[in-house]
Amino acid sequence: TIDKSEGIAAYLNGHNHFGAVGVRKDVPYITMPAILQGTTNAYSVARVYDDKIELVSYGRAQDLEVKLQSFKREK
């Protein structure tokens, strides 16, 4: 599971009808809203950096910036 894995910076998935964001054990969990729910669509483009993830969103989805926790990467 994600809780037992090392080196997980974030978890993105879909969908929850309205979308959701939470943090568990320093890992941000981002659930995208339903694409075709309602009269407009909802989608995002993720920009991933060393220290954050930015979601640039369209339709019903909302822009989001999530700071990432530092962790050691194994080589």
Q: Considering the domain boundaries, does residue 19 fall inside one?
A: yes
Residue 45: which pLDDT band, with cuts at 50, 70 and 90?
A: very high
Task: Give the number of other CB atoms < 10 A from CB of residue 32.
Answer: 19
Q: pLDDT at residue 25 above 50?
A: yes
User: Residue 10 and residue 48: Cα distance in Å, rounded?
Assistant: 10
Q: Which domain holds residue 13?
A: 2-67
Beta strands in 1-75 (DSSP E): 11-16, 20-24, 27-33, 42-48, 52-59, 64-67
- Average pLDDT value for residue range 70-75: 49
The CATH number of whichever domain residue 31 belongs to comes to 3.60.21.10
Please report whether residue 75 resides in a domain: no
Res 61 pLDDT > 50: yes
Q: What is the pTM of this model?
A: 0.74
